Structure 1
């Protein structure tokens, strides 16, 4: 893995340095082209001067040098085109390499994830979970099982005793006397009520009161 990373870094460094070198060469060719263009233009001006001076031979020599400069300019143009093509190819190759390397890295990560979680591991994990669940159920059942004195009780006897209690309660309910309905309240007719005079005590009443007092003593 480290070798791959170092190799990748070295390839990128080489690609970048190559692109820088091509750019420098392209700038140098462009500068030379500008110089040759100026020289060719200067030869044209000199040829015009010799033509005005009726020096045909010198004028032709100037035009010959101009043609040589133009040939060099054309050659430099071809060189620049080649360098442009090389830069385009190199940049495309660099992008392709980066893309392939990124895909390779993704595939390696996916493979590592699949290796970490393969089907055997998943099955093993599920078996462990099921085993732990079954153990927990057994533990809960063991804890809920009665022990000691409560374990000796007979469930059938307890149910029979409960049925007897329910029967006795029902019989007691049936033997209870029926309660009488409360008497309906007497409706008093509305209207003004007259105060009745309190009856005066008679002689018999006085004797009865005296007799009750003696009995109390």
Structure 2
């Protein structure tokens, strides 16, 4: 009834539960082994004491019990190996199951994506992109072509006119006179300074004119 209501238990949950159970069993076996080892060691000490007291029979009985403990210890060791083996197998199976589930989920997701993206839709989209690209190229070419008066200009005539302008400029440069080089400065020997210019002597008329200007200023 409850299985019908809540569904089946997941394998992963079963694996975890089983691993927990195996771990508990392994701990129990290790504890029993530890107890038996202590008992076997105690029987050895008893046998030594009885041997010192010359009680051979009691010493042999202690050694027999020690042997029984050792047999149980060996049996517990075999149990532990089996539990370890089962745990390793179960962990490997759990990893395998998780890997398969992940691959199955990935495959389902990829399949869903393929259904959502049909190859025909992809081809149609690429055709639309190519068409839009071609239209844009045509628009750009139409905009770059000259229109109006500029479209009537002859490229050959423009190039010929440009050559004439270049030739005229070159001819003008050739006809220009060469610029004279600046005169080299005159080197004056050291120790000899150029003589100061002597002011010219004023004439009598210039003296009279200067005197008249002085009187008028007064």
Match of 1:107 in 2: 107
Shift of 1:111: 0.8
**Separation (CA, whole Å) in 2 of partners of 1:64 and 1:36:** 14
Match of 2:39 in 1: 39
Secondary structure, counterpart of 1:54 in structure 2? coil
Match of 1:64 in 2: 64
Shift of 1:122: 3.0
**Separation (CA, whole Å) in 1 of partners of 2:23 and 2:29:** 10
Using a 3 Å threshold, how does the CA distance of structure 1 residues 8 and 92 change in structure 2: closer, same or farther? farther
Normalised to the residue count of structure 2, the TM-score between the two structures is 0.53
**Separation (CA, whole Å) in 2 of partners of 1:52 and 1:24:** 43
**Separation (CA, whole Å) in 1 of partners of 2:7 and 2:37:** 45
**Separation (CA, whole Å) in 2 of partners of 1:71 and 1:99:** 43
Structure 1 residues 132-182: Cα deviation after superposition (integer angstroms, max 9, x where no partner): 98xxxxxxxxxxxxxxxxxxxxxxxxxxxxxxxxxxxxxxxxxxxxxxxxx
Q: What stretches of structure 2 of length at least 5 have no aligned partner?
A: 1-5, 133-218
Moved more, 40-49 or 9-18: 9-18
**Separation (CA, whole Å) in 2 of partners of 1:87 and 1:33:** 19
Using a 3 Å threshold, how does the CA distance of structure 1 residues 60 and 24 change in structure 2: closer, same or farther? same
Match of 1:120 in 2: 120
Normalised to the residue count of structure 1, the TM-score between the two structures is 0.53
1:21 aligns to 2:21 (yes or no):
yes
CA RMSD of aligned residues (A): 2.6
Q: What stretches of structure 1 of length at least 5 have no aligned partner?
A: 1-5, 134-217
| Deviant stretches of 4+, over 6 Å | 6-9
Match of 2:96 in 1: 96
Using a 3 Å threshold, how does the CA distance of structure 1 residues 103 and 9 change in structure 2: closer, same or farther? farther
